[in-house]
Structure formats: C-alpha cells, structure tokens
Amino acid sequence: MNTTRARVLALYRRVFQLARHWRASSGLEADTLKEAGYIRDEARNLFRQNATLTDEQEILACIHEAESRLDLTEHYRTPYPRLPNVPPQTLAAQVHRTQGKQQPGVIGRVTTTTHVPRQTARNIKDALPSYLRSYEQSHPKKPR
C-alpha cells in the first residue's frame, strides 16, 4: 500500500510540475494560462474524487489512466482528452421528427427525438480508451 501511495504522490507532483511549466502550442499567454488552469483543476478534481478508493486494482487502474493522460498531454501538447475512434459496425443515432398539433398563433411545431440502439451504445462504451473513463464520469452529458 505504501508503494501505491508513493506512486500516487509522485504522479500528483508530476502533473503539477507539468502545469507549472506548461506552454500552449499557440504561444499565446492567455491560452497558456487557460490550459495550465485546466490541467490543475482536472487533476485536483480527479484526485479528490478517487481519494476514497481502497481497492488496489481500482487504484492501479486510476494510476494507469492518469499516466496515460499525462503522456498524451506531453506528446500531443494539448491538455484536453482526445476523442476516441468510433468502433466498427456502429450505427449513427436515429433521429425522428414528428409534427405536433397546429395551434393558433404557432407556426409549425416539430418535435425531435433521438434513439441510439443498445448495441451501438455498448460498442461505444466498450471502445472508450482508459484515459477517458474518468472524464466521462466527471463531465456528465448536458441535457438538451
């Protein structure tokens, strides 16, 4: 357990050192401050979110994810997670539009519903890389 704690603390220091020395690829000071702030905030949120974990395997998975995200950040020079590739045999969401009842004073009321097949949702979830698992949990989808 002590070696895991040491790895986590070393990783935490490494993330904040990266944020301290970060330079945006655009070269603009405003972008540098924004991206460095994102690195710090994301690290704080995820480390606090995972501070209560006790299962060794879960902790190691979180360490692996953090190291992957850090390596990708250093390599691609962008702190934001890369989008995953769409797995093969994945269908686009089906959009259904229906015309509602005509009301006086209202011109054309169209209702749109989106349906994602279960198999497609499962394929996308299974194809999610390890470095995006916590991002999905900490950044829930906004209702439309």
Q: How far apart are CA 31 and CA 22, in angstroms?
A: 10
Tell which wins on pLDDT, 101 or 56.
56
Is residue 82 over pLDDT 90? no
DSSP-derived secondary structure letter, 115: E
Whose tokens are 């991002």? That residue is: 135
pLDDT digits (tens, 9 = 90+) for 99-144: 666 565 555 566 667 777 787 777 777 777 777 777 666 666 655 5
User: What is the predicted pLDDT for the residue at 91?
Assistant: 67
Report phi then psi at 98, rounded to 5.
-130, 145
pLDDT digits (tens, 9 = 90+) for 38-52: 999 999 999 999 999
Q: How far apart are CA 71 and CA 129, in angstroms?
A: 14
Helix-helix angle 29-49:56-76, to 10 degrees: 170
Q: Which amino acid is at 1?
A: M
**Half-sphere exposure in the Cβ direction for 80 (13 Å, CA):** 8
Q: How far apart are CA 60 and CA 27, in angstroms?
A: 35
User: What is the predicted pLDDT for the residue at 42?
Assistant: 93
Instruction: Name the strand (E) or helix (H) holding 96.
Output: strand 94-99
Q: What's the burial of 89, exposed, middle or buried (CB within 10 Å: 0-12/13-18/19+)?
A: exposed
Q: DSSP alpha helices (H): ranges in the chain?
A: 2-20, 29-49, 56-76, 118-127, 133-138
Domains in the chain: boundaries: 2-80, 85-130
Give which of 80, 95, 92, 90 is closest to 124, Cα–Cα.
Answer: 90
